[in-house]
Structure 1
Amino acid sequence: MVSPALTVMIGADTYPPDVNGAAQFGHRLALAMRDRGHEVHVVAANPENGSSVRRVIEDGITEHRLRSHKVPTHEYLRICSPWEIWREVGRILDEVKPDVVHLQCHLVVGRVLAAQAVRRGIRVVATNHMMPENLAPFLPVPHAAQGAIAKGLWWDMGRVLRKVQVVTTPTPIAVQAMHDSGVFKRDAIAVSNGIEIGDYELQDHESIEKNPDQLSIYFVGRLAVEKNIDVLLRAFALLPAELSHAVLEIAGDGEQRDKLAALADELGISDRVRFLGYVSDEELRAGYLRADVFCQPGTAELQSLVTLEALSASLPVVLADALALPHLVREGENGYLFEPGNARDLAEKLASILLLDDEGRQQMGKASKALVAPHRAENTWQIFESLYVSNLHYNKALAEVHDRRKAHG
């Protein structure tokens, strides 16, 4: 921990009880900074109707929940109106006087918090968890216009974040995607979301109940369009006859659940597909530990925390060859990449792992565990602490980014 302890304010457009990667990371960050001795405040949308509220929860974390409105195209997301929260955010900053503001998104809460903090000379660190593809399904625009919308979103992000001191994103590939947008002009560095690796290890005294006559494919995430779970269902239906004892477990819920359940029925696999819905942390962990392979078919992943969890649980993985997922696979060692959207290719890659004997899958699982080691959460928290007080780490990391670009022309 840096000394002395800091007052850290985390700004989030999505935060628990929302269930998504950005919300969960913001929550983990708040808990970690609290546990490292810092005073932590969270500014986020009120998950309920009504005025802005302040409450102290989880042994000292103070939440400032801002007046918000339900997003009509999403089951749980809520959005704040900038003109409704502008003065309230200023009041919160004046009252708390944070040493640093750490934004988790630039859309509304992040936008207002950044502007108000910069006005007051408060240091601002911003982490981008968003890709335009994450928003596209919820925007009332025709498909043909989404390319222009994506470009506009990148430009807007750059406009909001140009005055902050530090911009990070979870992976080098995400850094490159921001650069390649052509309109996001601000330099960013990669800081992993981090993972508590030991949380997903089978303990010596522990056993997981598992059907010895059954093989399990595991998916974890929101049941949303960009996760491409329909491709996974079609691939599962294409598995060879000798894998008829395999099951597909899908942990998570979302707006696509009914459509996916109908597709499973149409494909004749509904008796072997288990929609688990939202699961507790304990149930989530048990799912990893009883699975034989993990699959992530999503194509808009800036890092994929659930894939890091699967690697930590020593699982072979099959991931879409898209955005940040390829850096989590060493082809043939801990798993495989498949062509995004290609159900037949995915089926072949899943079968190649499921048809291995137990020892073969365990060897791939060991390779997964070795690959996840650099993503230890302790490293992430230390880096962010250093960024809260100084640009030294940021400048060094930027120099490395620029050197890599020069080396690749």
Structure 2
Amino acid sequence: MAMPLSNAATITHSADVAEAGLAPVAERPRRVLISTDTYPPDVNGTAYFTHRLATGLAARGNEVHVICQSDAGPAGADVVDGVIVHRLRSAPLVVHPTMRVTVPTRLDRLMNSIDPDVLHSQGHFVVGRAAIAAARRRGVPVVATNHFMPDNLFQFGHVPAGLRERAGRLAWRDFNRVFRRADRVTTPTPLAAGLLRDQGFTGDVEPVSCGIDLARFHPHSEPKQWARRLFDLPDRPTVLFVGRLDEEKHLGELVRALPHVLNTTDAQVALVGRGNQREVLERLAGRIGVAERVRFLGFVPDENMPQAFAAADVFAMPGVAELQSIATLEAMASGLPVVAANAMALPHLVNGNGYLFEPGDVAGLASHLTAILTDGELRARLGRTSRELARTHDHQVSLARFEQIYDEVTR
């Protein structure tokens, strides 16, 4: 494995510098080590957040290292987007179609060579727990952010419905055992912080939003036809979903709502993302006669996501296991009204900018989508409110708060 970059200069004592009549040598930047079990090219909310955290901190002058799983198998290290990425040897994850898992290992040698001021762990799985253990042995302060919910793993582990409650308790017990070793714990929303307390975590938990790049994601004033053309979408009212096409996203409800919406308006649903439910959703759309109105756009690179939001009239998020939902924040920043499930953290994002529906209430979901798609004035007003609410999640504010936390735990 390639070693991390080292400082070229040795910091000289200020008194010695003054006696020599030389300009003082600047102190090195804050050195942040981020550990994660998922990082691009993985496609999921945790991977995207971790990448944006790492590159955002680097852009603010920090020296940032990331330890993660190799996306190909062999170990290696490289500088990517201003971040020093150390990839650990990995193997395919049997229960997941695309992700890989790091071969369990001690990280003391890598921890010693990087010599970070602080470790910021993004999880408690293989890489996270190994990095936290190595940091504790070396005396490096640990900040830990939780993105975990057992519900997101049950379908991949093929856990029967009758065993999920017990499996969830065991999973949370393991989480508590790892994260209680951290000096500071954060999670994206107040509701997510309350969830940890409900699951027996006794330490303080601070909500820090994942944040959104308000410069990249913003409303567009021009007609939507240009953006739809980029994705080969017909120029008609469009409901957009962005995320994994997986079980906990409850996308079947969105597909089943579409026939009700079509009773009033000439609409279509565009689904951005990949997942193991695509074939199920395709069959469902065909069975209920809306196959031509459900468009599967597949994976869309992050650099093209602003155009995807620009192609839509309303954003739908029927998922029930969201600790914040970066995709919903991006939609809000893009000026889209939101219709979301009244579940987990999503109600925190809907306040005068759209509607909540009860999970499973397909008629309610359809009614809200229809109201927005058929009323241009309402759509514009809700969209403006979405943008204003998104302003309170500026990622620069989140990055600044994390830097403050790093300073607090290293004093």
Structure 2 length-normalised TM: 0.88
1:297 pairs, out of 318, 332, 337, with 318
The question of whether the paired residues in 2 share the 8 Å contact of 1:161 and 1:186 is answered with no
Q: Which residue of 2 is the match for residue 79 of structure 1?
A: 101
CA shift in 2, pair 1:141/1:360, >3 Å: closer
CA shift in 2, pair 1:69/1:143, >3 Å: same
3-state DSSP of counterpart to 1:348: helix
1:143 aligned to 2:161? yes
2:246 pairs, out of 224, 227, 239, with 224
1:235 pairs, out of 244, 253, 257, with 257
3-state DSSP of counterpart to 2:71: coil
Q: Which residue of 1 is the match for residue 20 of structure 2?
A: none
CA shift in 2, pair 1:392/1:72, >3 Å: closer
1:192 aligned to 2:209? yes
Q: Which residue of 2 is the match for residue 54 of structure 1?
A: 77
| Equivalences for residues 240-259 of structure 1 within 5 A | 240-243=262-265, 245-259=266-280
User: Once the 2 structures are TM-superposed, how far is the Cα of residue 281 of structure 1 from its aligned partner?
Assistant: 3.0
User: Once the 2 structures are TM-superposed, how far is the Cα of residue 115 of structure 1 from its aligned partner?
Assistant: 0.6
Query: Which residue type is aligned with residue 78 of structure 2?
Result: R
Q: Distance in 2 between matches of 1:385 and 1:278?
A: 32
User: Once the 2 structures are TM-superposed, how far is the Cα of residue 268 of structure 1 from its aligned partner?
Assistant: 0.8
3-state DSSP of counterpart to 1:153: helix
Q: Distance in 2 between matches of 1:53 and 1:134?
A: 29
Cα deviation 1:140-176 (Å, max 9, x = unaligned): 4321111011111111111101121110000001001
| Equivalences for residues 145-160 of structure 1 within 5 A | 145-160=163-178
Larger mean Cα displacement after TM superposition, 95-104 or 140-149: 140-149
Identity of aligned residues (%): 42
Cα RMSD (Å): 2.0
Q: Which residue of 2 is the match for residue 352 of structure 1?
A: 371
- Superposition misfits of 4+ residues, deviation over 3 angstroms: 202-208, 210-213
CA shift in 2, pair 1:237/1:72, >3 Å: farther
Q: Distance in 1 between matches of 2:304 and 2:31?
A: 34
| Equivalences for residues 242-321 of structure 1 within 5 A | 242-243=264-265, 245-321=266-342
User: Once the 2 structures are TM-superposed, how far is the Cα of residue 188 of structure 1 from its aligned partner?
Assistant: 0.9
The question of whether the paired residues in 2 share the 8 Å contact of 1:292 and 1:354 is answered with yes
User: Once the 2 structures are TM-superposed, how far is the Cα of residue 213 of structure 1 from its aligned partner?
Assistant: 6.2
User: Once the 2 structures are TM-superposed, how far is the Cα of residue 341 of structure 1 from its aligned partner?
Assistant: 2.0
| Equivalences for residues 34-45 of structure 1 within 5 A | 34-45=58-69
3-state DSSP of counterpart to 1:265: helix
The question of whether the paired residues in 2 share the 8 Å contact of 1:56 and 1:62 is answered with yes
1:26 pairs, out of 29, 37, 50, with 50
The question of whether the paired residues in 1 share the 8 Å contact of 2:42 and 2:99 is answered with yes
3-state DSSP of counterpart to 1:200: coil
Q: Distance in 1 between matches of 2:301 and 2:225?
A: 16
User: Once the 2 structures are TM-superposed, how far is the Cα of residue 290 of structure 1 from its aligned partner?
Assistant: 2.3
Q: Which residue of 2 is the match for residue 378 of structure 1?
A: 396
Cα deviation 1:35-89 (Å, max 9, x = unaligned): 1111111100011123x2222222x42111111111122121111232xx21xx1
The question of whether the paired residues in 2 share the 8 Å contact of 1:74 and 1:255 is answered with no
Larger mean Cα displacement after TM superposition, 281-290 or 36-45: 281-290
The question of whether the paired residues in 2 share the 8 Å contact of 1:208 and 1:289 is answered with no
Q: Which residue of 1 is the match for residue 41 of structure 2?
A: 17
Q: Distance in 1 between matches of 2:33 and 2:225?
A: 39
Which protein is bigger by CA-based radius of gyration? 2
1:342 pairs, out of 361, 364, 368, with 361
The question of whether the paired residues in 2 share the 8 Å contact of 1:215 and 1:354 is answered with yes
Larger mean Cα displacement after TM superposition, 311-320 or 141-150: 141-150
Cα deviation 1:244-279 (Å, max 9, x = unaligned): x10111111111111111111111101111100001
CA shift in 2, pair 1:150/1:199, >3 Å: same
Q: Distance in 2 between matches of 1:93 and 1:392?
A: 16
Structure 1 length-normalised TM: 0.89
3-state DSSP of counterpart to 1:79: strand
3-state DSSP of counterpart to 2:268: strand
3-state DSSP of counterpart to 2:215: helix
Query: Which residue type is aligned with residue 58 of structure 2?
Result: R
Larger mean Cα displacement after TM superposition, 277-286 or 60-69: 277-286
1:163 aligned to 2:181? yes
Q: Which residue of 1 is the match for residue 21 of structure 2?
A: none
Query: Which residue type is aligned with residue 303 of structure 1?
Result: Q
1:201 aligned to 2:223? no
The question of whether the paired residues in 2 share the 8 Å contact of 1:80 and 1:109 is answered with yes
The question of whether the paired residues in 2 share the 8 Å contact of 1:158 and 1:186 is answered with no
1:325 aligned to 2:364? no
User: Once the 2 structures are TM-superposed, how far is the Cα of residue 206 of structure 1 from its aligned partner?
Assistant: 9.6
Unaligned 5+ residue runs, structure 1? 394-409
| Equivalences for residues 88-107 of structure 1 within 5 A | 89-107=107-125
Q: Distance in 2 between matches of 1:286 and 1:74?
A: 29
User: Once the 2 structures are TM-superposed, how far is the Cα of residue 207 of structure 1 from its aligned partner?
Assistant: 7.4
Q: Distance in 1 between matches of 2:396 and 2:45?
A: 18
User: Once the 2 structures are TM-superposed, how far is the Cα of residue 238 of structure 1 from its aligned partner?
Assistant: 2.3
